[in-house]
Structure 1
């Protein structure tokens, strides 16, 4: 049956079983106690029957038989003043098979004897010894048939089991209703919310509102609410990103054509005799060329991932010089100073355009952080060479990255290094470095400044 596989159905069955087990544990000592009370009652009735003989010595055999039948025994023996005296007696139909002394019997002995009696269906004659009531002697001893004793024990046991079954059923039903109300219904409500949310995860109205009264379920609902809220936000963000990507691809396509035309005009500027124009024209050409490449990369990114690097020999000092010259045009006097510590002859094996973008992103973030702090600062680009790697460090004296930016540093739209940023720069830079087989890491960021480390492996330089 289906309900047996449900939480409430299984809980109902387990409750019945556990209550029945508890009742069985109660039943065993109870039946032992009932047997002891039965035998003590026989002793008491036998002592009362013996009083007739003690009060009147000459009684008829018929009266003696009637007294023994009323007491439910075959004979009665009293010990008074160390003298054992047979008070009432009748023929015993079978030999005595066992003697039970109730005066010093332990609980375990009473339980053992009761279980043996229930397991022995054949009637037997037993001797029972006990203490007389009201100090009527030292002991009283009777013999009796076990048939009536066993029948009474079975009847008592059946009534106990019936009562246990009723108690188990009532307890199970009450617990079933309680569990259904406190656990099953709230769980079904959570499952219903999950199914509803799965049908339209972008609909913020379907996010669960915690309402459970049970602490654990409340915590589960709050966790689910947080997860659904974050997922809904991420889905909306991805949708906006997809729309933005389509728009950027269109803009980049047209912008590439415009920049290509501008590149033709800059070729004419190089023929000018003006010293300033001759000095600035190459940088303008380089900037427009990079813009064209960036548009082409953006179009490629819209179709797939960032294109792989075109590896070749590149002078790092030239790349860094171009980055610094471009950034100097964006700052006022005294706001940010730039310095470099690049060995002039250092040649790296890399895609010069992509490495320019990586360093430019890091320097731009550092410049914006220093300018937004309102305190003058310095940006330094240094490089060194080991046997296995080229290592480039971009260091600034800015205010450091905020905690949230450090937590999601290289994730798009999350790791915003500066206020108002898109969170794409570091993600793009990290991806470009990984394309070279290297790694971009944050070495330090605190109130004294920030240090980013670029590690580029040397493998294969000798083959280029």
Structure 2
């Protein structure tokens, strides 16, 4: 039972109620002691009035008055004159004196606790104010045995009543917690188990129904999480299906491209200057396409192999990308700019780096052409002691809010109608394979800037002029 929420709540309720009762018990027992002593003062005052009414009373009557008042002697001060009204022999000397006139609460509590903890009886002197101002003060001596017995009896009755109240309160709270908290939580757990059995079934997504605000908020949060999880599972299923489809297409496409390679071998033998200039670029493009198809077939899905690092000239890669994109511009007013030092070499996979830059430049070109305005696409690069940094910027219309929110998510970050949003996802995956980062630096009406940051790190410092590149050697 203690392992359940309601069981622990029951125990804690009993403990807290008992603690509250103890805090009430201590002042109550102090109040009881004060009332007990005041009642003895009042009874002693009444007994003294008999003597004041008749100065001559018999010793037997005096003893009876003191016995009824449960005191040994009574001193009543009237008009500043101290008078011993009634007296009887005391079995022992006075052990302590207590003045109840304007006594602070802390003092009353301390004296009450002290009396409870002291089992030995003693004779005490008690001083107080007479009832109805019948004098300046009244003073009595009495035995504490009866006082302690009465205090214990009163305390036991208070504790018994407190325990009964605690149990009843705890049971009521226990039932309330089971109805209003435990039962709804169990229902929530059962729903989660039902959803976990088939998370792709949208009918199993929880429908918030609780009238309690906190539980309703929990149900809403759970419903949102289940909705997102179901969508993510369906998306991954689509990606898996896409991987199989891409593998099939890549198989046939590779065969077609292999045949195209045979034709390009003959084109290279042409004596036409234009053909000689364009043939190498055509060969490179077909070779990259064949490598991509082979990589896709090798992994069965659209997963990227680890980069084959080697010393590459960035200017050559960027030149190939821009030359390829210029052919797609047509009559549109779009220009390209390159700011790549000719002697900048870095250590990377040339094919994968080409695909990263190609995807970024192609996206920029498509965005500017869709806008119908003129524009410019610029690729620049720099290096420091730790990184190579490549920037691809354009003067296009910028990315819409939805594209920014789902920037690197497949099938969600596409900008153009019918676009899949895979270009940036592929680029980011390839850059991460190099240990680098692809970041959106800025976007807006003035254009968009993407930054590729590749670490030198353990790849070696392949700085300009090729000296460090020679030290780096071939890839591991």
Moved more, 237-246 or 264-273: 264-273
Q: Which residue does the alignment assign to 2:469?
A: 461
Structure 1 equivalent of residue 205 of structure 2: 207
Cα contact 2:30–2:112 (8 A) shared by 1: yes
The answer to whether residue 316 in structure 2 is matched with residue 338 in structure 1 is no
Structure 1 residues 157, 441: closer, same or farther in 2, change over 3 A?
A: closer
Structure 1 residue 365 displacement after superposition: 0.6
Contact in 2 for aligned 1:300/1:306 (Cα 8 Å): no
Query: Aligned to 1:394, what secondary structure does the other structure show?
Result: strand
Structure 1 equivalent of residue 304 of structure 2 = 306
Query: Could you tell me whether the CA contact under 8 Å between 2:438 and 2:451 is conserved in 1?
Result: yes
Distance in 2 between residues matched to 1:154 and 1:311, nearest whole Å: 90
Distance 1:435 1:322 in 2: 22
Between the two proteins, the alignment pairs up a number of residues equal to 462
What is the deviation of 1:232? 1.7
**In 1, Cα distance between the equivalents of 2:140 and 2:348?**
111
Give ranges in structure 2 of 5+ residues lacking alignment: 463-467
Match of 1:401 in 2: 399
Alpha-carbon contact 1:204-1:232 (below 8 Å) kept:
yes
Deviation for aligned residue 1:354: 2.8
Give 2:428's aligned residue. 430
- Which of 50, 68, 71 aligns to 1:70? It is 68
**C-alpha separation between the residues in 2 aligned to 1:346 and 1:84?**
115
Query: Is the partner of 2:300 in helix, strand or coil?
Result: helix
Bigger shift: 270-279 or 386-395? 270-279
Aligned equivalents of 2:79, 2:237: Cα separation in 1: 106
Which residue in the other structure is 2:186 paired with? 188
Deviation of the 1:382 alpha carbon:
3.8
Mapped to 2, the partners of 1:28 and 1:151 lie a distance apart of 16
Q: What's the RMSD between the two structures over aligned residues?
A: 3.2
Counterpart secondary structure, 2:77: strand
CA drift at 1:241: 0.7
Residue in structure 1 matching 2:142, options 131, 141, 144: 144
Q: Please list, as runs of the form range in 1=range in 2, the aligned pairs for 1:15-414 lying within 5 A after superposition.
A: 15-268=13-266, 283-302=281-300, 305-311=303-309, 316-342=314-340, 350-383=348-381, 391-414=389-412
Distance 1:349 1:84 in 2: 112
How much has 1:242 moved relative to structure 2?
Answer: 0.8
* C-alpha contact (below 8 Å) 1:365/1:418 kept by paired residues: no
Aligned-pair CA distance for 1:33? 1.5
Decide whether aligned partners of structure 1 residues 16 and 391 sit closer, same or farther in structure 2, where only a CA change above 3 A counts. Answer: closer
Q: Name the SS of the counterpart of 2:252 in structure 1.
A: helix
Q: Deviations over 1:60-81 (max 9, x none)?
A: 4443333333322233332333
What is the distance in 1 between the residues matched to 2:374 and 2:217?
A: 48
Separation in 1 of the partners of 2:119 and 2:316? 109
Structure 1 position 438, deviation (Å)? 4.9
Gaps of 5+ in 1: none
Separation in structure 2 between the aligned mates of residue 46 and residue 290 of structure 1, nearest angstrom = 116
Distance 1:201 1:120 in 2: 70
Cα deviation 1:221-262 (Å, max 9, x = unaligned): 333333222222111111111111011111111221122233
Deviation at 1:48, TM superposition (A): 1.9
Once the two structures are TM-superposed, the CA of residue 153 in structure 1 deviates from its matched residue by 1.5
CA distance in 2: counterparts of 1:268 and 1:8, whole angstroms? 84
> Distance in 1 between the 2:169 and 2:384 partners?
77
TM-score, scaled to structure 2: 0.84
